[in-house]
Amino acid sequence: MKKIKWWPEFFRIVFKMNIKATINYFGWNVITENVINAGVYALEYILIWATMSKFTSMNGWNVYEVTFIYSLCLLSYALGNIFIRPFWYFDDLIVKGGLDDYLIRPVNPLAHLLTREWQFNYLGHFIIGIPVLAYVMGRIDVFWSSSKIFMLVLTIIGGAFIQAAIVVIPSCTAFWIVRSSSIASMLRGFREVINYPVSIYPKFIQILFTFILPYAMVNYYPSLTLLNKSTDAIFSIMPYITLFLGVVLLVIAYLIWNKGLKSYNSSGS
Amino acid sequence: MLYYFTLLCCNSKKTVVKLYTKVVFLLQRGAIHISIIEVQNLSKVYTQSVSKGNQKGLLKKLMSEKSEVHAVNDISFSIEQGETVGYIGPNGAGKSTTIKMLAGILVPTAGKLTVDGMVPWKDRKQYAEKIGVVFGQRSQLWWDLPISDTYNLYRHMYKIPGSEFNSRIDQLKKLLDLSEFWNRPVRQLSLGQRMRGELGAALLHKPKLLFLDEPTIGMDVIVKEAIRNFIKDINNEYGTTIILTTHDLDEVERTCSRVIVINKGTKIYDGTMEALKSRCRAESVLSVEFDSNIDNEAFAGLKVVEKGGNKASFAFLRREKGAGQVLDKLSNLNIRDIVIKEPPIEDVIREFYI
Amino acid sequence: MGYIYYFTMRLRTVVKYKTDTIFRIIRALISFFTQIYLWKALYGSNQVVAGVTIAEMMTYVVVSRFIGSVTSIRLSRDIEDRVKSGEIATDLIRPMDIRLLFASRSIGDSLASLLLDGIPVILFCIIYLGGIMAPATIQHFALFLVSTVMAIIVNISLELLIGTMAFWYMNAGKLNMFVYSLSALFSGGVVPLWFLPSWLGSIAYALPLQAIKFIPLQIYLGRVSIAGSIESIAVQAAWALGLMLIQSLLWSKILKKIVLFGG
């Protein structure tokens, strides 16, 4: 019975430690960090708006709808990456033996690894992303019923899961291949593609980003549902599929992690 | 289980308790020896792909030869509770590999390994509660926080009850002198302070064993000495079994009663430090700083390896004379300071192949 | 000759890490695709919008990529990193002007970048698009090349300036990331300044960023006369000088500080 109470307390302790560590590391600059982040994305929004100012639409998506899509990507990116920073340099962790530190504790090593380096400076992404999202939602010709809002939330959460998996799964290849961080950062960079609706790209890119690297499931397809952009039945439940896919990908990530750990146990670094 | 067995043999609980107290008493006095680590024919073999040329990825796999690396080759030893053992060898000898197997991180390819009745890599989580591990080359403490915060996290991780935790902290603060930097972030600490913090963290949950992997690497002589003393204090105070890996004999010199020397994966010596020194034909070096410049004639009968101004270094063989005898020859000179350097482990090992 | 060492520094590391170059090429291609299809989608069935044809836009994207590959933004990040880690101290005690040091490295960077990933990507783009518009006239092309060189100088001055500011904001996060986003908007690299709403456009013309991408691009496409081109190049030179002046001012202040505190 004590086991169940252990985890919330663990989370509480780690949460406080991360806040304290963030403040100690950044000092007062913790505010500047978030402001800079917010500023960077504010500029991105201005860029979208400026790009489209002389045009009416992009493949049938007006500037508010494009901003909507962009915001979904941004928010799910921020949410998905707050807790998984160690995976950004996972190959370094293995090579320098840092992973061993997590294997000598009476705690699940993955859970322990995920307690480190929470990116509280990603709050800046939310500070700019949420107001903008709310604003464009008001400008789009859609009625935001409670079920729509619910689906929107599911989309962001599912998108966060997908974005996290896209970071974790390639990083875990570090168990077998050296220098996986370049592959991982390249895949992170592909996020650029979904900043706009994928329908503007040729078919092969659309297929690539739907079935192989499912970035489009983060924002494009759910938006077809949320913005009533399609009458096909399948597109009416996209947010649920996104969430489902996110969960599936995280499960796969977990399985790969376990396999990798086993391999590490027999071959070291 | 042992409890019920003894209960069968004795009439009352009281007798059992008395019996146990006597056993513990004898254990602490070293009258009874219980081995806590049993290693038999331990081996760890890696298969490495040696790539031809500079290809990456697929090409590398296709065009490579498999080579076997015997990191650890048929090693056996047993270590008793309360011992402090130095595990020495040159770089790449297999020290880290052995420690990793002892810690439960690596699975051996062959052989048996039991620590306190458990097999380290099975039930790893349970086993982790019995051991403490400190790596000299990196810190496990949270970098931007004072050690008190990491200690608190470990309190929860190892499920240490509050009152026990507090008294433990007080003990460790006294033993390792932690109060002076208790509230400073680890980032701001010196190497020596950090190591003390790490040692404390490893001891919070009262582990039976402590594994130290090159704990004084990168430290200057004075700090090394301080850490060595702390390690000795830990062993004296808590009776923790300590295994220390290093490639530096100085580190092991006064901390460890027993030394296991390993080279290229094989054990080549297992015994006391004194016996090792007396076997050794590699020379130790005594460096002396005098009050004033000394002429060469004063050094007759001694092997001088370096001389300059008021400083001189002499080489001597431990098996022939101790450092004290060297000093005797210089007794009529005014000595300001001395340093003794043991031979590098590579030289010591060479002895075993001659 | 120390400068030559820094100049070839990038070339040597690139040869060592072939995979990095491949990844950089892939990233550049993705970026290229994103932009091409963005404009195609925006134009839709229109041939001309706001006086700019779609053919011009395609050319714009490719030439922009060319300029982008020779104006590296690593310089400020490098300085920032070295200040944070303290390695900057070793740079400062060298008997060479640290700014020229970083500048040589940046130029070497640009050339290596151009050779290894810039040109392959650009060739691919041109083939994929089935050709791009040639420069308006030969004179325009010549002026375009001059303007590109000026752009590199302006870029280096700007990067040095931002890097120097790192001395002041020691622990400040990614100031250079912010400037990067700023330049994405105002340099004309992504959106030609003709398309910007007027008030945004006027801000852009007041900033040095447009001297890095937009001015050379304009010249290439012949959207300014010869006289206008020369004028623009003069503007670039003015910006380069101005930035270097500010940087030198800050720099002397910092050097004084360092001497006072003994590093």
Domain boundaries defined on chain B = 1-32, 35-48+64-277, 280-351
User: Per the CB < 8 Å rule, is A106 touching B129?
Assistant: yes
Name which of A126, A59, B226, B325 is nearest C45 in CA terms.
A59
C-beta of residue B347 within 8 angstroms of C-beta of residue B282:
yes
- Alpha helix segments (H runs only) across chain A: 2-26, 29-52, 63-81, 90-95, 100-103, 109-113, 123-139, 146-172, 181-189, 203-207, 216-226, 238-267
Instruction: Name the residue with tokens 């969960």.
Output: A247
Q: How far apart are CA C207 and CA C215, in angstroms?
A: 12
pLDDT mean across residues, chain A: 90
CA dihedral A163, A164, A167, A173 (to 10 degrees): -130
Amino acid at B151: Y
Q: Say if domain B280-351 classifies as CATH 3.40.50.
A: no
pLDDT tens digit string along C203-213?
A: 888 888 888 88
Among A6, A11, A94, A100, which would you mutate to test the B interface (most chain B Cβ atoms within 10 Å of its Cβ)? A100
B126 in reach of chain A (CB within 8 A): yes
Residues in chain B, how many?
A: 354
A32 in reach of chain C (CB within 8 A): yes
C200 in reach of chain A (CB within 8 A): yes
| pLDDT band with cut points at 50, 70 and 90 for residue C263 | very low
Tokens for A119, please give them.
């990116």
User: Per the CB < 8 Å rule, is A40 touching C31?
Assistant: no
Q: How far apart are CA C232 and CA C210, in angstroms?
A: 10
C-beta of residue C148 within 8 angstroms of C-beta of residue C233:
no
User: Per the CB < 8 Å rule, is C173 touching A121?
Assistant: yes
Q: How far apart are CA C43 and CA C61, in angstroms?
A: 14
| pLDDT band with cut points at 50, 70 and 90 for residue A1 | very low
Per-residue burial over B218-239, b if 16 or more Cβ lie within 10 Å, else e, is: ebeeebbebbbebbeebbeebe
C-beta of residue A161 within 8 angstroms of C-beta of residue A82:
no
Q: How far apart are CA A68 and CA A139, in angstroms?
A: 10
Degrees, nearest 5: CA angle B128-B131-B135: 100
Q: How far is Cα of residue B25 from the mean position of the Cα atoms in its chain?
A: 26
Topology of domain B35-48+64-277 in CATH is Rossmann fold (3.40.50)
Give pLDDT, residue B93. 79
C-beta of residue C79 within 8 angstroms of C-beta of residue C245:
no
User: Per the CB < 8 Å rule, is C172 touching A32?
Assistant: yes
pLDDT tens digit string along C62-95?
A: 888 888 888 877 777 777 777 767 677 777 777 6
pLDDT of A8 > 60? The answer is yes
pLDDT tens digit string along A137-168?
A: 999 988 999 999 999 999 999 999 999 999 99
pLDDT tens digit string along A77-132?
A: 999 999 999 999 898 888 888 899 999 999 999 999 999 999 988 999 999 999 99
Name which of B205, B272, B210 is nearest B239 in CA terms.
B210
Structural domain spans, chain C = 2-261
| pLDDT band with cut points at 50, 70 and 90 for residue A10 | very high
Contacts of B55 in chain A (CB under 8 A): none
Residue B217 per-residue DSSP state = T
Q: How far apart are CA B127 and CA A104, in angstroms?
A: 9
- Neighbors of chain C by Cβ distance (3+ pairs < 8 Å): A
Per-residue burial over A217-239, b if 16 or more Cβ lie within 10 Å, else e, is: bbbbbbbbbbbebeeeeebeebb
Give pLDDT, residue B49. 62
Nearest Cα of chain C lies from the Cα of A141 at a distance, in angstroms, of 21
User: Per the CB < 8 Å rule, is A47 touching C33?
Assistant: no
Contacts of A33 in chain C (CB under 8 A): 173
Residue B92 per-residue DSSP state = T
Number of independent structural domains in chain A: 1
User: Per the CB < 8 Å rule, is A107 touching B125?
Assistant: yes
Q: How far is CA C196 from CA A110, C64, C204, C205, in A?
A: 48, 17, 9, 11
Beta bridge partners, B70, equal B45
> Rounded to two decimals, what is the model's pTM?
0.83
Residue B146 per-residue DSSP state = B
User: Per the CB < 8 Å rule, is A265 touching B106?
Assistant: yes
Q: What are phi and psi of B21, to 5 degrees?
A: -60, -40
Give pLDDT, residue A258. 95
User: Per the CB < 8 Å rule, is C41 touching A200?
Assistant: yes
ipTM more than 0.85? yes
Q: How far apart are CA A70 and CA A67, in angstroms?
A: 5
Amino acid at B259: V
Choose the weakest-confidence range: A181-190, B75-84, B130-139, C140-149: A181-190
Name which of B251, B267, B269 is nearest B259 in CA terms.
B269
Contacts of A116 in chain B (CB under 8 A): 142
- Closest-CA residue of B relative to A103 is B105
User: Per the CB < 8 Å rule, is A54 touching C33?
Assistant: no
Secondary structure class of A176 (helix, strand, coil) = coil
Give pLDDT, residue B212. 93
Beta bridge partners, B138, equal none
**Region C168-184: what's the mean pLDDT?**
71
For residue B131, give the nearest of A22, A104, A268 by CB distance. A104
Choose the weakest-confidence range: A224-233, C53-62, C173-182: C173-182
Compute the half-sphere exposure of residue C222: CA atoms within 13 Å on the CB side of its CA: 11
Nearest Cα of chain A lies from the Cα of C136 at a distance, in angstroms, of 25
Q: How far apart are CA A27 and CA A37, in angstroms?
A: 16
User: Per the CB < 8 Å rule, is A106 touching B128?
Assistant: yes
B residues 287-326 closer than 8 Å to A (CB):
none
Instruction: Name the residue with tokens 């593609």.
Output: A193
- Closest-CA residue of C relative to A34 is C173
pLDDT tens digit string along A26-49?
A: 877 778 888 888 999 999 999 999
C-beta of residue C163 within 8 angstroms of C-beta of residue C78:
yes
B217 in reach of chain A (CB within 8 A): no
Greater confidence (B344 vs A174) lies with A174
| pLDDT band with cut points at 50, 70 and 90 for residue A254 | very high
The share of chain A scoring above pLDDT 90, in percent, equals 64
Amino acid at C20: D
pLDDT tens digit at each of 354 positions of chain B:
555 665 666 566 677 677 777 766 666 655 566 788 888 888 888 876 655 545 455 555 555 566 778 888 888 999 998 899 999 888 877 888 899 999 999 999 888 999 998 999 888 989 999 999 999 888 899 999 999 999 999 999 999 999 999 999 999 999 999 999 999 999 999 989 999 999 999 999 999 999 999 888 888 888 888 888 899 999 998 999 999 998 777 778 778 889 998 888 888 889 888 787 777 777 788 888 888 887 777 777 778 888 888 888 888 877 677 777 778 877 778 888 888 887 777 777 777 665
Name which of A186, A191, A248, A246 is nearest A222 in CA terms.
A246
| pLDDT band with cut points at 50, 70 and 90 for residue C158 | confident
Greater confidence (A225 vs B12) lies with A225
